């Protein structure tokens, strides 16, 4: 029986069980005697075992079976939970997640038996002390290339060369050039593997040309590799150490193994006989075992029969949710978008004909009815796309626990507002930036135990993640009660790197100094670790959040802590906007960014350091003349008063000077496409009812 039709359901449900296990094991570490938590863990492990068996994933089934055995003994009070057991259980979760990732990519669980972890579980069952940490066993290929002194394998010797690739290598060697093989190992904590790979390639290409990639160059670019990739390069230089050291100099690269190789050596390596696959392995590679499915159906049938004969069973609670592929929702959203455009067109016709008396009342009634229906349909679709950010933040307590041990700092994560909802497309992309910020708080923010004691702070550092909705935005705050940002130190670093002169630095505000931290490769770490300090982090956070139409700002007080405030749009598809014109050009401004609209006499404009400002009810607000920013002609006759749209970005405000207000409208955001996406002032475009195009202004970038 082909069970591939159930693969997507299996992947979704396995991910949920892994998260449930992670949450409950964290809870168990704090309350080792809590039998409700123990029972929940047992049930999740049992469910995982059954699901893996049904799908024919034997290794995953074996591991979860041994986990289940341990918790059976814990339930029966024969084993007491301690920190070492918790560590092994988390190692189990990592291994299960490894199987799941392999299944996502290949529909197969791979060949890693995780013998060391299974041995540790059996050791717990036999009453032996569990090791503090178990190193996962690395998958071995059938024909293994020898490791170098570091213990890392030269996987480039395992690449199966095509005829054309062999010919390229052979002709290169015959022409007097040298062949190099490299295997690059990326740090496990690296979040931008493709970017690291690109920098390695760039470093190598200073000395030669890369001609063979494993996996393919496209797969490397798409990050479809685990922690290593291999390649062959040809060069005119015979200095292997020069190439190796240039590749190793790239940040977040754990190791690079490589050497100058001969063409004959590669061919000999490739022609070695491979270990024969067993018949069972061949069958497993082709089709997952169908027997567990048949047994499951038989057991289900027996259970149903038993229930029919009067056996008492617990009736499951009906699931009130339906899994919907995001692509189907996107298609539905596009149809709603077209409907809204059509509605706007009818409204436009209705408005233009309203004065001539020919339009019937019933037609106007139908237009109003269509408006109500499209608005309601839009809201319904948006609600279907909204998911709680809990799906992203649920993994963070485990991450903070691991960081606490790795950094040897006591810390605790407090999370609130996990039920705050965001558009699914935003949620999927916000995980990495938040992870960067939390790691930043743990490593840079919180002081060592000794320093905290000297400052009279609690021994356990606090890290906070708070999410809430504010108008059309969701705010996520990540803060800590640590050292805060030493702006003087940041200023010195900026001067040292030539970003500002000492004279310019004296006039910088605190915000301008902190903004240096968001520049690429600007790291304040005194020591490079596998947690941080390689100049990758806050620049990635800023670019990722801005790509979602959001922004990030920082509040910090030296000695008391820092808070990073991330502001994100609720949705990226349809918004309420104010349409304005600047010298006959049409623009849209998101209504959520607008505070108020003012008519300001030109005589009331003041100047601060040569910049135009207005004093609005005691608040000084800078003016942004859109015609200058957007390079649009100024009116022939200067007006006596200006129409100013007051917008905000967090707590800051600015006034956008426009010529005319055209009214509020629900607009569909259309992408500008790759040819003109570099203009960050324009975040997209929309089609109006009369067919005109209006560009959507990005208020955050303007400010």
Task: Find the helix or strand (DSSP H, E) in which 169 lies.
Answer: helix 163-174
Give the whole-angstrom CA distance, residue 420 versus residue 418.
5
**Block residue for tokens 């890392």:** 152
CA 281 to chain centre: 36
Instruction: Please tell me whether residue 161 adopts helix, strand or coil conformation.
Output: coil
**Rounded CA gap, 78 and 339, in Å?**
64
C-beta of residue 525 within 8 angstroms of C-beta of residue 532 = yes
Catalytic residue among 24, 344, 440, 700: 440
205 noted as active-site residue: no
Beta strand 652-658 pairing with 641-649: antiparallel
CB 325 within 8 A of CB 86: no
* DSSP label of 592: G
Active site residue 68: yes
193 neighbors 118 (Cβ within 8 angstroms): no
* Residue 65: how many other CB atoms lie within 10 Å: 18
Q: How far apart are CA 572 and CA 396, in angstroms?
A: 25
- Three-state SS string over 240-263 comes to HHHHHHHHHCCCCEEEEEEEEECH
Residue-wise DSSP of 60-93: HHHHHHHHHHHHHHHHTTSS---HHHHHHHHHHH
Contact assessment for residue 535 and residue 439, using Cβ atoms and an 8 Å cutoff: no
**Is residue 435 within 8 Å of 189, Cβ to Cβ?**
no
- Order the strands of the 178-186 sheet from edge to edge: 208-214, 228-235, 178-186, 253-261
346-351: long-range pairs with CB below 8 Å, 24+? 346/370, 346/689, 347/371, 347/689, 348/688, 348/689, 348/690, 349/689
CA of residue 330 relative to chain centroid, distance: 20
Token look-up 């960067």 returns 436
Distances in Å between the Cα of 218 and the Cα atoms of 173, 198, 274, 674 are 26, 11, 28, 19
Q: What is the DSSP string of 645-677?
A: EEEEETTEEEEEEESEEEEEEEEE-B---TTST
Give yes or no for a contact between 662 and 677, defined as CB atoms under 8 angstroms apart.
no
Orientation angle between helical segments 424-440 and 538-547, nearest 10 degrees: 160
Alpha helices in 394-486 (DSSP H): 396-407, 424-440, 449-454
| Residue 231 Rama label (left phi>0; alpha psi -120 to 50; beta) | beta
Asked if omega into 215 is within 30° of 0 (cis), the reply is yes
Task: Name the catalytic one among 24, 40, 65, 68.
Answer: 68
CA dihedral sign of residues 123, 129, 131, 132: positive
What's 511's DSSP letter? H
Pairing of strands 652-658, 619-625: parallel
Show which residues are catalytic: 46, 68, 440
């Amino acid at each position: 029986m082909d069970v591939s039709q159930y693969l997507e359901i299996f992947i979704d449900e396995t991910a949920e069980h892994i998260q449930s296990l992670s949450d409950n094991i964290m809870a168990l570490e704090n309350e080792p005697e809590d039998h409700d938590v123990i029972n929940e863990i047992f049930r999740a492990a049992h469910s995982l075992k059954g699901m893996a068996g049904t799908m024919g994933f034997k290794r995953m089934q074996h591991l979860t079976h041994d986990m289940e055995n341990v918790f059976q003994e814990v339930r029966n009070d024969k084993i007491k939970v301690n920190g070492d057991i918790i560590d092994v259980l988390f190692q189990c979760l990592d291994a299960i997640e490894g199987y799941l990732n392999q299944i996502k990519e290949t529909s197969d669980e791979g060949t890693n038996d995780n013998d060391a972890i299974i041995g540790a579980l059996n050791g717990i069952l036999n009453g032996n002390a569990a090791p503090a940490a178990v190193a996962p066993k690395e998958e071995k290929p059938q024909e293994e290339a020898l490791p170098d002194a570091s213990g890392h394998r030269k996987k480039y010797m395992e690449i199966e060369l095509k005829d054309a690739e062999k010919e390229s290598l052979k002709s290169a060697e015959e022409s007097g050039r040298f062949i190099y093989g490299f295997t690059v190992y990326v740090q496990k904590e690296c979040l931008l593997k493709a970017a690291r790979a690109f920098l390695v390639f760039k470093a190598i290409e200073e000395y030669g040309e890369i001609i063979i990639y494993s996996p393919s160059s496209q797969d490397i670019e798409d990050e479809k590799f685990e922690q290593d990739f291999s390649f062959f390069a040809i060069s005119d230089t015979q200095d292997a150490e020069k190439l190796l050291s240039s590749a190793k100099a790239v940040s977040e690269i754990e190791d690079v193994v490589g050497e100058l190789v001969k063409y004959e050596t590669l061919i000999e390596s490739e022609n070695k006989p491979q270990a024969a696959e067993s018949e069972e392995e061949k069958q497993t590679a082709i089709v997952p075992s169908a027997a567990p499915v048949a047994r499951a159906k038989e057991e289900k049938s027996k259970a149903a029969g038993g229930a029919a004969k009067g056996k008492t069973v617990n009736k499951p609670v009906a699931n009130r949710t339906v899994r919907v592929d995001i692509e189907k929702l996107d298609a539905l959203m596009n149809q709603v978008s077209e409907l809204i455009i059509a509605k706007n067109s009818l409204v436009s016709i209705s408005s233009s004909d309203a004065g001539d008396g020919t339009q019937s009342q019933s037609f106007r009634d139908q237009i109003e009815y269509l408006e109500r229906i499209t608005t309601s349909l839009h809201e319904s679709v948006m609600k279907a796309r909204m998911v709680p950010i809990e799906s992203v933040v649920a993994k963070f307590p485990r991450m903070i626990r691991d960081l606490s041990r790795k950094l040897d700092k006591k810390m605790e994560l407090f999370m609130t507002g996990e039920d705050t909802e965001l558009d699914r497309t935003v949620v999927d992309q916000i995980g990495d930036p938040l992870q960067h910020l939390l790691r930043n708080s743990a490593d840079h923010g919180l002081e060592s135990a000794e320093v905290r004691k000297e400052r009279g702070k609690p021994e356990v550092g606090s890290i906070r993640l708070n999410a809430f909705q504010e108008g059309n935005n969701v705010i996520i705050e990540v803060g800590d009660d640590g050292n805060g940002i030493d702006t003087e130190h940041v200023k010195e670093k900026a001067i040292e790197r030539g970003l500002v002169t000492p004279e310019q630095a004296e006039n910088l505000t605190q915000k301008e100094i902190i903004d240096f931290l968001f520049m690429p490769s600007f790291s304040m770490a005194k020591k490079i670790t596998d947690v941080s300090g390689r100049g990758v982090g806050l620049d990635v956070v800023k670019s990722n959040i801005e790509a979602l139409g959001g922004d990030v700002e920082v509040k910090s007080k030296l000695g008391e802590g820092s808070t990073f405030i991330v502001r994100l749009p609720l949705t990226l598809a349809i918004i309420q906007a104010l349409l304005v014109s600047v010298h006959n050009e049409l623009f849209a401004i998101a209504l959520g960014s607008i505070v108020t609209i003012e008519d300001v006499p030109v005589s009331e404009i003041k100047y601060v350091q040569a910049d135009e400002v207005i004093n609005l009810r005691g608040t000084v607000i800078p003016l942004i003349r859109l015609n200058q920013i957007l390079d649009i002609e100024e009116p022939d006759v200067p007006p006596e008063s200006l129409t100013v749209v007051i917008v905000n970005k967090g707590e800051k405000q600015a006034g956008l000077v426009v010529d005319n207000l055209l009214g509020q409208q629900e607009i569909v955001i259309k992408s500008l496409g790759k040819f003109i996406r570099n203009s960050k002032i324009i975040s997209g475009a929309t089609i109006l009812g009369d067919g005109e195009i209006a560009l959507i202004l990005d208020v955050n970038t303007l400010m």
